[in-house]
Structure 1
Amino acid sequence: MSKKHKRDDHEEHADETWLIPYADLLTLLLALFIVLYATSSVDAKKFEDMSKAFSVAFNTGSGVLQNSAVITTGQQFENATRERRTGSGGQTDAQEMEREALMQLEQEDLEELKGQLDEYIRQNGLTTQLDTKLNQSQLMITIRDNALFASGSAIVKPDARELAVAISNMLQQYPNYQIIVSGHTDNQPISTPAFESNWELSSKRALEFMNILMENPELDRQRLRATAYGEYHPVDTNDTEAGRAKNRRVEVSIIRNYVDPENAESIGITGGT
């Protein structure tokens, strides 16, 4: 009688080995849901947290339902993303807003200066000799060499000094920008007692024009520098006289302090003559 009772107790004991593959299945399903959630909003921080969640799920040996770190990973993703975007105390947003405001003010400055230059060009009939262009990096004033110099010379014509003075007076109203004066030539060789190469001619022309700008005591000399490009930055072909005439020029560039990295194209305010 007692033997039969013991046998019945043994027969009623359930086999629980199925729990092992069942727990593994739950783990895999949870991992799948984490992957689907993370890929719905691609984010480097989320992937980092997801990697940590996998490590916890597969390497610790803890039960899935016992591991609260895995269960709350989705919420951690959102919190981490929000914290990274706003920064501590919202400083990142504040800095970005300040930068955007400064960029807008700079854009307004350069548009205003361009308008003054364009009006001067129009009033003085210089539309064939001067041009202005505002793009993502600078406001550039391009002056044909025949408006400033005699052929093969770096001496500014007397009537062209008035132009340099007018440009200097406009530039002094905007004291927060660096100014680069650059000289350019065509590719025709030059060899004279005054200049042995186009490099020397373009350099001397840039310096001479910059010297007139610096005669204005209100224009900060620390903002100015001159550079020479010789024949190596043409804007047109050197195979025709018209193209070579365009390549012989002096450029005055007012350099932006703030450049939008997402804006790789011209801002759209070009021409002006």
Structure 2
Amino acid sequence: MARRKRKQRHEEHMDESWLVPYADILTLLLALFIVLFAASNVDAQKFNTLKSSFNSIFSGGSSVLDYESPVPVEIENRTTGKRDESLETVESKAEQEQEELKKVQEKINDYIVENKLEMSLKTNLTEEGLYVTIQDGAFFDSGSAKVRAEDRELAHEISELLVMNPPRTIIVSGHTDAIPIKNSEFKNNWHLSVMRSINFMAILLENKKLDPSRFSARGLGEYEPVATNDTAEGRRLNRRVEILILPNTEQQ
């Protein structure tokens, strides 16, 4: 009889070990609901703007942006709270560089006018940079890549115009017309154009105020004409050396 009562008391004692994982599940569910609530507070206007932009690019078929996103779209900088202005900074620097190159162009144009070199030199400011074009008759004899001795002083004066602060990258390019060259010194027009650019650049770099690491030379032969090769005047314009002054994109 006593043994039966002891067994009944043991059966009335419940196993409560399931309460621990149950409490953990409740805690996780609460955390999940908090995260979902926070994620639902998306700036609808910013999300729709970004959605429209991507959908216009990836047109055709269903876009993943057609579905509701549980992740907030961040347009603003998380650290400063301000809109990312990197694009505006790049555009502003590009405009500033164009203004600086315009001043260099005006300086070179003044030199051209003062020395009555309008037929030999000209400038052109583009988005790529500032071009200074030198007709081949100003420095080279026909079929030659050697700068004439009487024109070296002019090359030295041009080198002074290239001294800038801050310094900029400069590319010297040689160009020819489309008539094949006929002499034993050069294999073709490409060879001639390369040697003209190298020889002219070498004289420029005799100016110790210029940094040689900023300079490069290339030959383009007849492959970038600026005029027709069907006329004598067009061929004259195509035979040239170009100095390209690139915008300064380095961080200051």
Instruction: Give the TM-score normalised by the residue count of structure 1.
Output: 0.64
State how far apart, in whole Å, the 1-side matches of 2:132 and 2:83 are: 36
Q: Which of the residues 241, 247, 251 maps onto 1:250?
A: 241
Gaps of 5+ in 1: 1-33, 54-68, 259-273
How many Å apart are 1:90 and its aligned residue?
Answer: 4.9
Aligned residue in 1 for 2:196: 205
Aligned residue in 1 for 2:178: 187
Relative to structure 1, the CA distance from residue 236 to residue 52 in structure 2 (aligned partners, 3 Å threshold; closer, same or farther) is same
Aligned residue in 2 for 1:123: 114
State how far apart, in whole Å, the 2-side matches of 1:173 and 1:134 are: 16
State how far apart, in whole Å, the 1-side matches of 2:65 and 2:222 are: 56
Letter matched to residue 120 of structure 2: Q
Query: C-alpha offsets along residues 171-230 of structure 1, whole Å, 9 cap, x if unaligned?
Result: 122443211000011111113122121111111100111001110111110100000011
Aligned residue in 2 for 1:236: 227
8 A Cα contact 1:109 1:174, kept in partner: no
Any idea what SS the aligned residue of 1:141 has?
A: strand
State how far apart, in whole Å, the 2-side matches of 1:131 and 1:90 are: 49
Aligned residue in 2 for 1:149: 140
Relative to structure 1, the CA distance from residue 172 to residue 91 in structure 2 (aligned partners, 3 Å threshold; closer, same or farther) is farther
Aligned length: 197
State how far apart, in whole Å, the 2-side matches of 1:182 and 1:220 are: 18
State how far apart, in whole Å, the 2-side matches of 1:86 and 1:105 are: 25
Aligned residue in 1 for 2:93: 102
Q: Which of the residues 67, 75, 89 maps onto 1:51?
A: 67
State how far apart, in whole Å, the 2-side matches of 1:165 and 1:175 are: 20
Aligned residue in 2 for 1:65: none
Aligned residue in 2 for 1:165: 156
More helix by share: 1
Aligned residue in 2 for 1:26: none
Any idea what SS the aligned residue of 2:80 has?
A: helix
Letter matched to residue 52 of structure 2: V
Relative to structure 1, the CA distance from residue 108 to residue 234 in structure 2 (aligned partners, 3 Å threshold; closer, same or farther) is same
8 A Cα contact 2:176 2:221, kept in partner: yes
Query: C-alpha offsets along residues 59-108 of structure 1, whole Å, 9 cap, x if unaligned?
Result: xxxxxxxxxx8xxx9xx6xxx3xx32556425763434433442233122
Query: C-alpha offsets along residues 7-42 of structure 1, whole Å, 9 cap, x if unaligned?
Result: xxxxxxxxxxxxxxxxxxxxxxxxxxx9xx948x82
8 A Cα contact 2:76 2:82, kept in partner: no
Instruction: Give the TM-score normalised by the residue count of structure 2.
Output: 0.69
Relative to structure 1, the CA distance from residue 155 to residue 43 in structure 2 (aligned partners, 3 Å threshold; closer, same or farther) is closer
Identify the range of structure 1 (93-102 vs 244-253) with the bigger mean alpha-carbon deviation: 93-102
Query: C-alpha offsets along residues 107-130 of structure 1, whole Å, 9 cap, x if unaligned?
Result: 222011100110111111111111
Relative to structure 1, the CA distance from residue 104 to residue 147 in structure 2 (aligned partners, 3 Å threshold; closer, same or farther) is same
8 A Cα contact 1:175 1:219, kept in partner: no
Tell whether 2:58 aligns with 1:42: no
Tell whether 2:124 aligns with 1:133: yes
Gaps of 5+ in 2: 1-43, 56-62
State how far apart, in whole Å, the 2-side matches of 1:91 and 1:166 are: 49
Aligned residue in 2 for 1:227: 218
Query: C-alpha offsets along residues 143-183 of structure 1, whole Å, 9 cap, x if unaligned?
Result: 10001111111111233222221221121224432110000
Structure number with greater CO (CA < 8 Å, separation at least 6) is: 1
Report the aligned-residue RMSD: 2.8
State how far apart, in whole Å, the 2-side matches of 1:96 and 1:191 are: 52
Any idea what SS the aligned residue of 1:180 has?
A: strand
The percent of aligned pairs where both chains have the same amino acid is: 40
